[in-house]
Amino acid sequence: MTRSVDEQALVRTAHRVLPAGHFGNVASDLIIAEGRGGRVWDASGNEYIDYLLGSGPMFVGHAHPEVTEAVLAQVPKGTTFFANNEHGIRLAEAIVEAVPCAGQVRFVSSGTEADMYAMRAARAFRRRDRILKFEGGYHGMSDWGLMSLAPRHLANFPTPVPDSAGIPRSAREEVLVAPFNDLDAARALIAAHHDELGGVILEPFQRLIPPAPGFLQGIREVTAQYGIPLIFDEVVTGFRFAYGGAQSYYGVTPDLCTLGKIVGGGFPLAAIAGRADIMAHFDKAIVGEDGFLMQVGTLSGNPVAAAAGLATLSILRRPGAYEQVFARGRALMQGLEALIRQAGLPAQVVGEPPLFDVVFTAGEVRNYRDMLRADTAMQKHFNTQLRAAGILKGESKYYLSLAHTEEDVAQTLQAFAGAVAALPSKAG
């Protein structure tokens, strides 16, 4: 790709017309102009191996020809209808067939919406107001989701800490917080508050941290014991760890789940899926006026997004797709771990092959508070070195895609070696 725009002029314009100069995602100094397969180019023509992947949705790669073909076939027929369409119905059918907990599906346009409506559906079903979540878990931008995601000041459990200005004090009364991967503590909190809880929500794989053996199973058992709906936030993990999502990968079935990113094929589409008796609260004819959960969205089930999602899922159903992603992710994880050991750094690689990162700290990383020990300056320095070597990632994640090649893996491992060599000899 050749340079076609004045990138610095665009950056200056961004700072004039956008708060902080960006969309609220990555820093303002990066302007992406094009993506193909597992690579992107910025507005100055610099090429990167892309492990950001639009924050995850481009699991089959950028501009996949089959996804593009499906989108271009629909666009001349209309881009949105505010009514049922075949692609949306077929996508819902595919989700029900793939995801263990999915009896029915309701579409929205973002993961934030999906998480918000899943919590609301659980509360409507249970007729209780409070939600229990896990410290460090991300569940979108709603008032309830932005509790104890990344608290600057730690509180005693189960007290929530708001992560944003503008959240009403009353919202804090509706959320309880438990430590991730501490089954005894979570069980005790759920048992103590079971009659107040409308639902329990968690990421089965929390940001970068896998569940400890037996943790998800234990949460499933205690919520089932008290009849409390269990929600898996699979906006990130849905169709990424397995075709049936993390619930299939880890072998634990919740009552509800939320999906996004991959399921929209790079377009704004997300979903709530779950047991038919809970999903019935979206149907006034079944639950009546008092039990009805109103949900309307201008672009919900958008036919272009649904066409992209269907094409993406078709690609992922092919034999060997997940095996390829896992093999390449595993090669990167093992290669980075070996470089860290050779350098004698207090660091470790955390995650699963489709989604991982290095954490610069010694000792086991099981929860959010363990992550606070990480040397963030060392992490930033490492990421800066990788960016200079043509590796693009977020602050804390490598997303693997089906489009990443063996050549990409080899080039990335070479960049890892250079970045490790450039690190200070001692991490904090």
Phi, psi of 396 (to 5 degrees): -150, 65
Q: Which of 115, 120, 118, 150 has its CA nearest to residue 134?
A: 150
Phi, psi of 257 (to 5 degrees): -145, 160
Which tokens in the block code for residue 101?
């907990």
Mean pLDDT, the chain cut into blocks of 10 residues (428 residues total): 70 88 79 96 95 97 98 98 97 98 98 98 98 97 95 94 95 96 98 98 98 98 98 98 98 98 97 98 97 96 98 98 98 98 96 98 95 95 96 95 98 98 71
pTM: 0.95
Q: Which residues are catalytic?
A: 138, 233, 261
Q: For residues 398 and 151, give the distance between their C-alpha atoms in angstroms, rounded to a whole number.
A: 23
The pLDDT, as a whole number, for residue 21 is 83
The pLDDT, as a whole number, for residue 60 is 98
The pLDDT, as a whole number, for residue 11 is 86
Domains of the chain: 99-296 (3.40.640.10)
The pLDDT, as a whole number, for residue 373 is 95
The pLDDT, as a whole number, for residue 4 is 57
- Tokens 């489009």, residue? 403
Handedness of CA 389, 395, 401, 403 (dihedral sign): negative
Residue 111's SS3 state is helix
CA-CA distances (angstroms) from residue 336 to 101, 141, 350, 393? Answer: 35, 33, 11, 15
The pLDDT, as a whole number, for residue 152 is 87
Q: For residues 335 and 414, give the distance between their C-alpha atoms in angstroms, rounded to a whole number.
A: 10
